[in-house]
Structure 1
Amino acid sequence: MIHQKDKMTPKERLQAYFKKEEVDRLPFTISLGEPSAKFLGISSFDYHHKADSIVETEVFCFNRFGQDGISVRTGLHGIAEAMGSKLSFAEKGLAAVEIPFLSLEENFQKLRPADPHKDGRLPMFLEAIERLQEKLGDVVPISAGLPGPFTTLSSLRGPEILMRDLHTQPEVAFKWMDIIMESFYAYIDEAAKLGVGFNISEPVASQSLISPRMFRTYVKPYLKKCVDRMIEKSGRKPSLHICGQTQKILRDMTETGVGTLSLDNAVDMEKAKIEVGNDICLSGNVKPVETILHGTKEDIFNEVKDLVKKLHDNPKGYVIAPGCQLPMTITLEKIDMYAEAARKFGKFPIEFDLD
């Protein structure tokens, strides 16, 4: 189960790398999910609703690319859906919130924690995690991907209304967040029983949407509770991704207790390395659209090479990764180029005069 172009399995590599032992190359990841289903002729709708489709897709991608991690994600709205929000699903596209549960005043007193064994698609996600763990868990780390609590509140209330609430009735937001946290604890507990780690995506906490002060008030405390629960139940620190610009909250993100910060291409990685590199592993931030989707092979190689040159000596480690999820229109060939670049420039000993 070692990829033909590697000398170690992902689990062997990651365990050795973070112990500062000898490895064949830097770890790399690919943020795929729904966009990869089309490679097997599977619709996005089926990927969203069938454990078989998730497992088949993720096994195919791992066998082809040999990336250093597989994540089964609930999607940004999966917890909110399980708590009552209605989603819409395209045959080729991402899920979207059609009716936020808390956009209707009649539901204010009906909000309840989700049961991971019964509500929404949570049972299906757990099934896919369990099956992937059985198939590939000895070789590559499997993780459960979750939205952050604040993003989940946005999916329950609606982003525009939520932003107004934070100024006019913040006490209501706090009340709802407490209920949301019970859903997170329940899902974390069940996923951890399957022996997997976690990653968190909290895009609504981007500096493009809220201020650092609001982040520290409405986001950071709840992320910290999630991270603490994940570490308690799994023994592993999760990773955290927040889309867009996060330069002013890097220290706050680090203080949540996560093990890795996945940074968008809007962030200056050298500045991030200076600010928090002594305390946390950094991951990112190859441009997913401008470089991987629309760029040439040379563009992809040059950007990966530049990031490796800047980050390979980060004190707590560096994982080559896209700055965010790859777009729906991504092709196999472009991901192959990205994986080839990661192997070429991440190979130890690191050499920067490679063509």
Structure 2
Amino acid sequence: MEQMTSKQRVLGLLKGETVDRPACYSGTGTVWGAALKHYGYNFADAHHDPEKMARLATFPFEAAGFECALMPFDICVEAELLGCDINYFSNSDESIYPNIKKRLIMKPNEIEGVEVPDHVMGGRVPVVCNAIRQAKAEFGQHIPIGAHILGPFTLATHLMDFNELLMTVFRKPDLVSGLLEKLAGVLMNVARAYEEAGADYICLREMSGTTDIVSPKQFNELLRPELVKIIQNCRVPVVLHICGNTNKIVQYMVECNAHAISVETRNDLVRTRQDIGNGPLVFGNIDGFGVLVKGTPEEVEQEVIKCLRNGVDALWPGCEISLKAPLENLRAMVRAVEKHGHSEWHRKS
């Protein structure tokens, strides 16, 4: 088989076509500390400036051959759209990811009063859309342009006090179900905006769906129905990502009918393959805060080989990549997939 472009490889795999090897890309974060240093950007500014966002998102491909550009960089876009106050740490000398400064829901009795916008072109959604367009115009022939949205339950944890939400899940699940249905509608519209801007794939990040937080039964009955709706509504391939321990719900993840599932380092890949077989696509699960930061290039290479042998179909970080990860390790990650991707891939036969 002739060598494919990154875009052909990524989208071909997601569409179920034969590809030359696994890709090395991401749906959970592609802003690298090396990119911020290279351009001299303040991280807080990059969340509001589409040109800076596009440049930072495409740097990994330019500098290391990483096989995508992904936006946005933080997980507060949807919460801000719905009215939450966000802390961007604009005055900090360090590069810090934004977080929620003020939540929208204080008590369970406020859940039903949550209002959702008639349209989603408010907040920073237009910034992300413009960044997608810019990245697509310059690099769209070579790499896929990705975008991520939150899952409805994860978005709910941003809108409401975490402990209050969990207690409501147990005490009044119907109330939470109604909230998730409402939020799913917003998320579908955000995904559609990204698609219309040119996104080639969507990563649906339901990080809080892990069994560290909700039981498998709660995931199946409360979270899965809304995830299915979002995935069905998308026009481009969707990867469903869930953080933490997902071995007990991996079959439910597959049944959401995304084009692929993404797991992180706490997922036992060997067990996952035993449970779901070789059919479904599984992406993961190199540690963006472990070996990519603390390891040597040689150790990164060995970790990549391990992930490939254990059953991943694309090598990508289990979550964000630390801004402290050295460029030499990130390059080693990409080179290792290029070197060993075909020979060590469980689908090589």
- Partner of residue 334 from structure 2, selected from 330, 333, 339: 339
CA distance in 1: counterparts of 2:282 and 2:66, whole angstroms: 17
Query: Which range moves more in the overlay, 241-250 or 126-135?
Result: 126-135
Report how far residue 131 of structure 1 moved: 1.8
Question: Cα–Cα, structure 1 residues 185 and 273, in superposed 2: closer, same or farther, change >3 Å?
Answer: same
Contact 2:292–2:326 (8 Å) recurs in 1:
no
Contact 1:74–1:125 (8 Å) recurs in 2:
no
Counterpart position of 1:67: 66
Question: Cα–Cα, structure 1 residues 289 and 109, in superposed 2: closer, same or farther, change >3 Å?
Answer: closer
Question: Cα–Cα, structure 1 residues 299 and 226, in superposed 2: closer, same or farther, change >3 Å?
Answer: same
Q: Deviations over 1:52-80 (max 9, x none)?
A: 11111122221112222222136322111
Q: CA RMSD in A?
A: 2.5
- Partner of residue 93 from structure 1, selected from 91, 96, 100: 96
Report how far residue 115 of structure 1 moved: 5.2
Counterpart position of 2:153: 150
CA distance in 1: counterparts of 2:111 and 2:138, whole angstroms: 42
Counterpart position of 1:139: 142
Pairs aligned (count)? 336
Counterpart position of 1:224: 228
CA distance in 2: counterparts of 1:114 and 1:329, whole angstroms: 37
Alignment of 1:217-296 (within 5 A): 217-230=221-234, 234=235, 236-296=236-296
Report how far residue 282 of structure 1 moved: 1.0
Question: Cα–Cα, structure 1 residues 20 and 55, in superposed 2: closer, same or farther, change >3 Å?
Answer: closer
Counterpart position of 2:46: 47
CA distance in 2: counterparts of 1:337 and 1:216, whole angstroms: 38
Consecutive unaligned residues of structure 2, counting only runs of 5 or more, are none
SS of match in other structure, 1:167: helix
Contact 1:181–1:222 (8 Å) recurs in 2:
yes
Q: Deviations over 1:220-253 (max 9, x none)?
A: 11111110111xxx2x330011111000000100
CA distance in 2: counterparts of 1:277 and 1:293, whole angstroms: 32
2:25 counterpart of 1:29? yes
Consecutive unaligned residues of structure 1, counting only runs of 5 or more, are 1-5, 313-317
CA distance in 2: counterparts of 1:140 and 1:164, whole angstroms: 43
Question: Cα–Cα, structure 1 residues 326 and 176, in superposed 2: closer, same or farther, change >3 Å?
Answer: same
Normalising by structure 2, we get a TM-score of 0.88
Counterpart position of 1:329: 324
Percent sequence identity over matched residues? 21
Report how far residue 300 of structure 1 moved: 1.1
Letter in 2 for 1:206: T
Counterpart position of 1:305: 305
Query: Which range moves more in the overlay, 290-299 or 93-102?
Result: 290-299
